């Protein structure tokens, strides 16, 4: 799914945020956020034990970018001067779900950035980009049932609850939120209704 027409997506801008393709300079932030137990509380298999694991994760993210022309972005504040540490990560990657290639929406923030709408703003920007940049591709978010904040972010980003797609993940049951799933008009439920 490499797309040469996606070269202008290495930075997405929102009113408060700049989402940029990760660089090696982000490895320390990858480690800092993914080793904070609060950040991975609902997905313990995502925990990183050391910087070497963060370097490996960065390499996998970069490889996805090189192969497909999109991936995860590092979230930076546009309003904080001088620019501080990255606030977290948000983006999409390809994966298989029920025999289909889908675009999976991911977001993980530094707990210090929680509660300010940053995850929703970043996830909405990425979901909007995926809808226009990857037309026709199903977009999903896999969310742990107990992660209320993440459930709200997925819904606010425009994805709808799709219980018929729920599946076992690395850390237990994943609730699926989706948009653009074939025949989704009758099968996907809007959690806000």
List pLDDT tens digits, range 126-149: 999 999 999 989 999 999 999 999
Every domain of the chain and the residues it spans: 4-187
Output helix, strand, coil percentages for the chain, rounded to the nearest 5. 40, 25, 35
CATH architecture of 4-187: 3-Layer(aba) Sandwich (3.40)
Whole-number pLDDT of residue 182: 85
Note the pLDDT tens digit of each residue in 74-106: 999 998 755 678 999 999 999 999 999 999 999
Report d(CA 148, CA 50) in Å as an integer: 28
User: Cα–Cα distance between 184 and 91 in angstroms, integer?
Assistant: 22
Against a cut of 0.75, is the pTM above it?
A: yes
Residue 191 has pLDDT above 90, yes or no: no
Judge contact between 87 and 81, C-beta under 8 A: no
Task: Look at residue 172 and tell me whether its pLDDT is greater than 90.
Answer: yes
């Amino acid at each position: 799914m490499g797309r040469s027409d996606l070269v202008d997506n290495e930075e997405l801008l929102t009113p408060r945020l700049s989402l940029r393709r990760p660089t090696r300079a982000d490895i320390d932030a990858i480690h800092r956020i993914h080793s904070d137990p609060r950040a991975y509380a609902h997905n313990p298999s995502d925990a990183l034990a050391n910087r070497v694991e963060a370097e490996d994760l960065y390499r996998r993210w970069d490889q996805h970018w090189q192969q497909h022309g999109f991936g995860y972005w590092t979230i930076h504040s546009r309003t904080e001067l001088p620019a501080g540490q990255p606030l977290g990560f948000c983006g999409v990657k390809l994966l298989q779900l029920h025999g289909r290639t889908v675009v999976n929406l991911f977001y993980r923030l530094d707990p210090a950035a929680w509660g300010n709408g940053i995850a929703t703003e970043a996830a909405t920007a990425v979901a909007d980009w995926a809808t226009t940049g990857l037309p026709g591709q199903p977009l999903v978010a896999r969310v742990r049932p107990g992660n209320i904040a993440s459930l709200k972010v997925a819904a606010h980003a425009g994805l709808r609850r799709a219980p018929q797609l729920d599946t076992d993940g690395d850390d237990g049951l994943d609730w699926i939120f989706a948009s653009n799933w074939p025949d989704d008009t009758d099968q996907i439920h809007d959690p806000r209704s």
